[in-house]
Chains A and B, each alone.
Chain A
Amino acid sequence: MKVDLSWIDYCIMIIYFIFVLGIGWFLRKYMKNANAFLEAGRSIPAWVAGLAFISTNLGALEVMGMCGSGMKYGMLQTHFYWIGAIPAMIFLALFMMPFYYGSKARSVPEFLKLRFDEKTRALNAILFAVMTILASGISMYALAILMEKVLGWDYNLSLWISALIVLGYTYLGGLSSAIYNEVLQFFIIVIGLLPLVFLSLTDVGGWGGLKDGLAPIAQAGGYAPDTWTTTWKYTANITQNPMGVEWFGILFGLGFVLSFGYWCTNFLIVQRAFAAESKIAARRVPLIGALPKMFIPFLIIVPGIIALVLFKDPSKNFVLPLDTSGKPIYDYTIIMLLKQYLPAGVLGLGITALLASFMSGMAGNVSAFNTVWTYDIYQSYIRKRTNNPEADDRHYLNVGRVATVAGVLLSIASAYIASKFGNIMDFLQTIFSMINAPLFAVIFLGMFWKRTTGHAAFTGLLIGFLVALMHHGLTAPVGATTLFKGGWLGHIHTYPVEMAQNFWTAIIAFSVSTVLTVGLSLITQQKKTVAELTGLVYSLTPHEVDKDMPWHKKPAGLAIIVGVICIVLSIIFW
Chain B
Amino acid sequence: MVDIRIPIGLMFSILGVLITIFGVFTASDSEMYQKSLGVNVNIIMGIIMLIFGLSMLFFARRKKK
Contacts and interface: CB of A to CB of B under 8 A. Distances in A.
Interface of A: 8, 11-12, 15-16, 19, 22-23, 26-27, 30, 41, 43, 48, 176, 180, 183-184, 187, 191, 194-195, 199, 202-203, 340-346, 349
B1 A340 contact: no
B2 A343 contact: no
A344 B23 CA distance: 9
B45 A346 contact: yes
Contacts of A195: 36, 41, 44-45
Given A199-B37, A345-B46, 4 more contacts: A15-B15, A16-B15, A41-B1, A345-B41
8 contacts: A15-B11, A23-B4, A184-B7, A187-B8, A191-B12, A341-B35, A345-B42, A346-B42
3 closest A-B pairs by beta carbon, nearest first, are A345-B42, A19-B11, A180-B4
A342 B7 contact: no
B33 A191 contact: no
Contacts of A341: 35-37
Contacts of A345: 19, 22-23, 26, 41-42, 45-46
A23 B45 contact: no
A11 B18 CA distance: 9
Nearest to B31: A343
Contacts of A23: 2, 4, 7
Q: Is the interface of B mostly helix, strand, loop or mixed?
A: helix
A27 B1 contact: yes
A346 B11 contact: no
B12 A194 contact: no
Contact of A199 (B19, B41, B48, B52): B41
A8, A11, A346 interface centre (most CB from chain B within 10 Å):
A346
Contacts of B7: 19, 22-23, 26, 180, 184
B57 interface: no
Query: What band does the interface of chain B fall in when counting residues whose beta carbon is under 8 Å from A?
Result: 20 to 34
Contacts of A43: 1
A450 to B, nearest CB: 38
B35 A343 contact: yes
Contacts of B41: 195, 199, 342-343, 345-346
Interface string B1-29: 11010011011101100110011001000
Given A43-B1, A184-B8, A195-B45, A8 B35 contact: no
Given A184-B11, A199-B37, A27 B2 contact: yes
Contacts of A187: 8, 12, 52
A326 to B, nearest CB: 28
Contact of A194 (B15, B36, B39, B45): B45
A189 to B, nearest CB: 13
B54 interface: no
A43 B4 CA distance: 13
A519 B65 CA distance: 59
Contacts of B8: 183-184, 187
B35 A349 contact: no
A40 to B, nearest CB: 9
Contacts of B35: 340-343
A314 B42 CA distance: 28
Nearest to A347: B35
Nearest to A203: B37
A8 B22 contact: yes
B11 to A, nearest CB: 5
B7 to A, nearest CB: 6
Contact of B45 (A16, A19, A176, A191): A191
A349 B36 contact: no
B14, B26, B42, B48 interface centre (most CB from chain A within 10 Å):
B42
Given A16-B11, A184-B11, A346 B1 contact: no
Nearest to B46: A345
Contacts of A343: 26, 32-33, 35-36, 41-42
A263 B6 CA distance: 30
A182 B27 CA distance: 33
A1 to B, nearest CB: 15
B15 to A, nearest CB: 6
B1 A176 contact: yes
Nearest to A16: B11
B33 to A, nearest CB: 6
Nearest to A184: B8
Given A191-B12, A199-B41, A345-B42, A26 B19 contact: no
B43 to A, nearest CB: 9
A41 to B, nearest CB: 8
Contacts of B46: 345
Contacts of A180: 2, 4, 7
B23 to A, nearest CB: 6
A199 B36 contact: yes
Given A202-B37, A341-B35, A26 B2 contact: yes
Contacts of A194: 45, 48
A346 B23 CA distance: 10
Contacts of B49: 191
B1, B23, B35 interface centre (most CB from chain A within 10 Å):
B1
Contacts of A184: 4, 7-8, 11
